[in-house]
Chains A and B, each alone.
Chain A
Amino acid sequence: MLAFVNFYLIPGLVLGAIYALSAIGLSLIYGVMRFAHFAHGDLMALGAYVALAASTGLGISVWASIPFAAAATIPAALVADALFYARLRRSLPAVLLISSFGVALMLRALIYLFFGPTPLTFPRPIVPPLVFEGVRIQARHIWIILGAALCAFILHLLLSRTRAGRAMRAMSDDPDLARISGVATAAVIRLTWVIAAVLVAVAGVFLGLDTQLQPVMGFNVLLASFAAAILGGIGRPWGAAFGGVILGLAEECSTYPLRDGAPLLEPTYKSAVAFVVLIATLLLRPQGLFRGMI
């Protein structure tokens, strides 16, 4: 039982927290702009690498470098929107999706250019895990889980208690009605990018802390993030957060040795879990667990 908590539950929650942060942004972007943002993973990687540069360059802690990560992802998202997505706003969602794929490649090329293909790690001291009654957890994992929860809580306050948040929800509910009722749609779109970029920067730093930094790190978790967003009902940030946690847990638990010692699923196939969840959701409940928009 303890082994399950230590080796499956806690890593699952950590991965789930990262998926959740990324999936919330995808869901918000889909809700407000109605397209699948394929550059989200590479935006995440950009955030992680800029945090790495800031923490090594300035000698600050990784946590303190998160604002630097966001300071890179926010303008990157806004510029991509202004240069590419804004012009295509009236075209088919597939066209926007493909243009975001192009942006993804550009971002990744930038990362290769400045940081090279070799995996890097955040400077972090090797510390023994904290132990509570046999439950062993790395301090950084506690911070990742709490940090993601805090982000979700702040987002909740923003969406439910502020005029800007209401405008965002109105726009994802009925964009035409929002526009004709005088909602400042251009401002809502900008705000959506800012929020999604902050969340994905945090997710990138967390992912880098949990594993290592590679140019494809974000792209590797993109499928799982989409699966989480769709599982939770695309366009519903809470569903996406929930879907992220479920998916993180499912992925980690998929290798649990249930059949006398042999893992349920070989670890190399772990990333297929997201695929299976995605396909099963689309087949069985395409609207997602919480009735999304498709």
Chain B
Amino acid sequence: MTARADPPALSVSGVTKRFGGFVALDCVSLEVSEGSITGLIGPNGAGKSTLFAIIAGFLPPDGGTIRLRGEDVTGEPPWRLHARGLARTFQIPRLFSRMTVLENLMVAAPNQSGERLPAPWLARRQIRREEEALRARALGVLERLNLARHAEAPASALSGGQKKLVELGRALMSGASVILLDEPAAGVNRTLLREIAEIIAALNREEGITFLVIEHDLDLVADLCTRVWCLAEGRVIAAGSIGEVRNDPQVAEAYLGMTFDVH
């Protein structure tokens, strides 16, 4: 008998996705180990966001399997995956624009009573108590994301980077243990970028949350990620530490025209 290692937090094997005749993902396999911050890099149009959509149940794959902690979850709808602790953010942040930042977070908390909503005309005391607890938790998350001062602002009033943080906040409120971040630092100024990186690292260290991060800023990837996968034209072309991947000739070719300063 061989001792079986714990299954990876997330494993993708042989995933293929076609849009009409165009092959967006061609037999992609990768793994995200439990408790890691894993990077997913690759040039524009490589299929990174498409892979996220498939992992999170937004798109059905044309082939292949997705496993969450060893369990086959291929084809499950997003809300079920969400309930299993898998959350994602979007490349273009998506929030409830007519609600406040705080309400955006409160809405994302899992519903203890399942499919039922608490009858608002019953048990007012209990509802109020739960409301207060929920509010306190949401404020705590905002504190952690340095967004507490925007709690009562409408979500639509935030900057792009702040919206990305609110999306992360929603993932945290849902109690997610595996979070997919689609370009958390795109279009974000340097200071906020550092802040976002620190927040991700702290969440990983302190709460043990596993992250899979799509990012074009390779310095940020180098800072955060222990392991990196590189996708190009729908295929995995390299995997390893950021140093190894950066030095891979195939990666350099895929990123033709982009220069890396290897540390």
Residues of A within 8 A of B (CB): 158, 161-167, 169-170, 173-174, 177-184, 186-188, 191
Chain B residues 22 to 78 lying within 8 A of chain A, measured CB to CB, are 58, 78
Find the A residue at minimum CB distance from B113: A184
Interface residues contributed by chain B, number (CB under 8 Å): 29
Check A187/B96 contact, CB under 8 A, given A161-B131, A182-B83, A182-B111: no
Give the one of A163, A166, A170, A178 with max B CB within 10 A: A163
- A174 & B117 in contact (Cβ 8 Å cutoff): no
- CB atoms of B118 and A163 under 8 A apart: yes
Nearest residue, chain A, Cβ from B173 = A181
Within 8 A of A (CB), among B96-123: 96-99, 103, 106-108, 110-111, 114-118, 120
Contact A167 B170 (CB under 8 A): no
Contact between A182 and B96, CB atoms less than 8 A apart:
no
Q: A167-B117, A173-B96 are in contact. List 18 more A-B contacts (CB 8 A).
A: A158-B120, A162-B127, A162-B131, A163-B118, A164-B120, A166-B106, A167-B107, A173-B98, A173-B99, A179-B79, A180-B58, A181-B108, A182-B82, A182-B110, A182-B111, A184-B115, A184-B116, A188-B117
A-B pair count, CB < 8 Å, reads 75
Say whether B78 contacts A180, CB under 8 Å. Answer: yes
Q: Are A170 and B115 in contact (CB under 8 A)?
A: no
Contact B117 A166 (CB under 8 A): no
8 Å CB interface, B157-173 against A:
170
Given contacts A169-B99, A170-B99, contact A178 B107 (CB under 8 A): yes
In the assembled complex, the CB of A233 is this many whole angstroms from the nearest CB of chain B, namely: 11
Given A163-B130, A181-B82, A184-B111: A169 and B118 interface contact (C-beta under 8 Å) = no
Within 8 A of A (CB), among B115-147: 115-118, 120, 127, 130-131, 134
Shortest distance from the beta carbon of A185 to any chain B beta carbon, whole Å: 9
Contact (Cβ within 8 A) A177 B120: no
What 1/0 mask marks residues of chain B from 84 to 101 whose CB sits below 8 Å from any chain A CB? 000000000011111100
B96-A174 in contact (CB<8A): yes
Residues on A with C-beta less than 8 A from B108 are 181-182
Residues of A within 8 A of B131 (CB): 161-163
* A180/B98 in contact, CB under 8 A: no
Q: How far is the CB of A17 from chain B (nearest CB, A)?
A: 22
Q: In the assembly, what is the distance between CA of A170 and CA of B170, in Å?
A: 13
Identity of the chain B residue whose Cβ is nearest the Cβ of A157 in the assembled complex: B120
Q: Which residue of B lies closest to A235 (CB)?
A: B98
